[in-house]
Amino acid sequence: MDRLTVLLLLLWSSGLPTEGEDSEETVRLSGGSTRCSGILEVNVGKWERVYHSGWTLKDAAIACSELDCGFAVSLEWRYEAERSSMVEIRPECIQSGSALKDCARQFDESYIFLGLLCSDSVRLVNGASLCSGRLEVKSHQSNQTWSSVCEDDVDLQDAEVVCRELGCGAPSVLKGALYGEAKGPMWTKEFQCGGHESGLLDCGSLDSARNTCSPGEAVGLTCSEPIRLVGPSRCAGTLEVKHEADWRPVFHHKDDWDLRRSAAVCRELKCGAPVSVERRTEPSDRFLWMIVSKCSMFGSSLRECAQSVYNSSILDLTCSEPLWLSGGSSRCAGTLEVNHDEDWRPVSDYDSRWTLKEAAVACGELDCGSAVSVGRRNESSDIPVWTIGFDCVQSGSVLNECVESSNSSSILDLICSGLLLLPNISVSSSKDGVSKAQQQGFQVSKGSTFNISCSVLPQYLGGSFHLTFTSSSTTRNYTQPAVNHSAHFLFPAAKRAHQGSYSCVYHLQEFSHDVSFESRALAVTVSGELSQETD
């Protein structure tokens, strides 16, 4: 047997591919510090780089999983001075369950390609997003299998390290059996993190003191989403997302941000309900994050659906504070509910301590104007509620910092004035057009047709308008239903009898309460020869 034959036999017995024989490896990350970081390449007869064709972190997670690298931490564009051949992998193909190689197709030459960073030692599985799931760890010294961690072997400081390692926000939930039972072996060490480490396996550890740990005690972890509102308060401002270690504003594309998507952001920030969504154009050369609608509409987090874009429309979002009024005809009327420690409950008024003075605090925090009425209703049985300590509120604290847990059947309903404190009143005339304010009041020409309009902002549904007229000799009332939040009172020919003071009263019924808002008074004079005119 010659030397060449012996060498070929040795190579075959060691499991290494000989020349002309395909390796089983079809996808890899090259040029990184570990096998789980670097440039994404696919073997299609030769190794080709992958073009960056609209991938999000959600797509990167599929690639990391195929590489047995656990968790997608970041996705970035890589650039090369010279164009080279590469392949394209469309996100919709791999999301359908196909392997990366089966989705690869030849692409024109380009200089933009994909770089991935996967966590090769820590992952969260069976969660609703990339930042939640059952905690699993893989040791590089053992047999490279993923092991679940017992609830008793990880604490909040350990969880902080995990969330940071995975590029997520701070831990919000840490609990056993939260995301299903363990499927494989259990980790046998107790972590001893100080909270500052870059990765969980960088932490110290001790042999676990427990004797057993059932699969049902495998710890689940939920990290908060790394988002924030930058503005006048923590619940209002420009929406920013942290992705790839970079805080950027969110791009507002047309009308893709509806109240449902905004409500999820407000809830994640532990604020109340969305109040407004605005699009702001800012002359800037910076990159923004665009949230891919098809990705986020299925419950994925903003971070895992972010794409880098350069088109200057920025999303501004205003949420209420961590309380809202539910069940009413507007966001400023209903049952007062407060969020404390991720627990939304109605507020009780079993001792009838709530007056308009106390209700004004809640209306103010909700950006809902002043308090109009305080109501109470009784449930059929006691339910979990919050009671508010008013000594705490009077000291300057917000409502959700002043709650006490209780059970009661007496529930508080509030009606706030809303953002409108007064209806609007205006006059138009067939001869004069819209009258302008004069120091002495408003004038319309004798004999002209004039119209008095009452309107409110679209805060409440329905209702009616009462136009009240007062002169030195008489008082009259006119009523019309509110149509599109307004009513128009037509007067065919102006005459002496129409000269006087007018005001609009917007009237509605909410929770069996009659609620009214009155406009400022409007003085109308009729110009022309009035001395010979009779009523």
Residues written for the chain: 535
Whether 402 and 435 map to the same domain: the answer is: no
Q: Are residues 41 and 68 in the same domain?
A: yes
Q: What is the CATH number of the domain that holds 165?
A: 3.10.250.10
Domain assignment present for residue 355? The answer is yes
- Same domain? 193 vs 250: no
* Domain coverage including residue 518: 424-527
Distance spanning both ends of the chain, measured CA to CA:
130
Of 77, 95, 119, the residue that ends a domain is 119
Residue 486 and residue 400 share a domain: no
Are residues 146 and 101 located together in one domain of the fold? no
Q: Check whether residue 32 and residue 115 sit in a common domain.
A: yes
Asked if 377 and 436 sit in the same domain, the reply is no
Name which of 454, 528, 520 is nearest 493 in CA terms: 528
pLDDT of residue 19: 37
State phi, psi for 387 to the nearest 5 degrees: -110, 145
433, 306 contact by CB (below 8 A) = no
Residue 9 in any domain: the answer is no
Q: Are residues 307 and 353 in the same domain?
A: no
- Which structure tokens are listed for 465? 């308008």
Task: Could you list the beta-strand ranges (E) of 320-363.
Answer: 323-327, 333-340, 343-346
How far is 506 from 427, CA to CA, in rounded Å? 17
**Residue 165 lies inside a defined structural domain of this protein:** yes
| Among candidate residues 67, 93, 119, the one where a domain is terminated | 119
pLDDT by position in tens, the chain (length 535): 555 444 444 443 443 333 333 457 899 999 988 889 999 999 998 999 998 777 888 888 899 989 988 788 888 888 877 888 889 999 889 888 889 999 999 888 788 888 998 888 898 988 878 888 999 998 766 567 888 899 889 998 999 999 988 888 888 888 888 887 877 788 888 999 987 888 899 999 888 766 667 777 889 998 888 888 998 777 889 999 887 667 888 887 665 677 667 877 887 787 777 878 888 887 666 678 887 776 765 556 777 777 777 766 888 888 877 888 888 767 788 899 998 877 889 999 887 788 888 888 888 888 777 788 888 889 999 999 999 988 888 777 788 888 999 999 999 999 887 755 568 888 888 765 444 443 346 888 888 899 999 988 766 678 899 999 999 888 999 999 998 889 999 999 898 899 999 999 988 876 666 777 788 888 998 887 544 444 4
Could you tell me if residue 8 is inside a domain? Answer: no
Q: Which of 244, 236, 322, 243 is nearest to 280 (CA)?
A: 236
Cα 465 from Cα 518, distance rounded (Å): 10
Q: What is the dihedral of CA 415, 421, 424, 425, to 10 degrees?
A: 100
Number of H helices, E strands in the chain: 9, 34
Quote the pLDDT of residue 534. Answer: 47
Rg (alpha carbons) of the chain, rounded to whole number: 33
- Are 400 and 478 found together in one domain? no
Determine if the pTM surpasses 0.85: no
CA distance 264 to 271: 10
Structurally, the chain folds into a number of domains equal to 5
Any domain includes 1:
no
Asked whether residue 16 is assigned to any structural domain, the reply reads no
- Assign 474 to helix, strand or coil: coil
Residue 68 pLDDT: 86
Indicate whether 192 and 211 sit together in one domain: yes
Regarding whether 430 and 374 lie in a shared domain, the answer is no
Tokens of 72: 């997608």
* Residue 7 located in a structural domain: no
**122 burial type by CB count under 10 A (0-12 exposed, 13-18 middle, 19+ buried):** buried
Task: Give the tokens for residue 322.
Answer: 């961590």
Predicted confidence at residue 83, as pLDDT, reads 82
- d(C-alpha 375, C-alpha 373), whole Å: 7
Tell me if 527 sits within 8 A of 445, measured CB to CB. Answer: yes
Assigned domain for 504 exists: yes
Choosing from 89, 119, 149, the residue where a domain stops is: 119
* Same domain assignment for residues 59 and 86: yes
What one-letter code names the amino acid at 106?
Q
Rounded CA-CA distance 283/281 in Å is 7
Q: What is the Cα–Cα distance from 31 to 518, expressed in whole angstroms?
A: 71
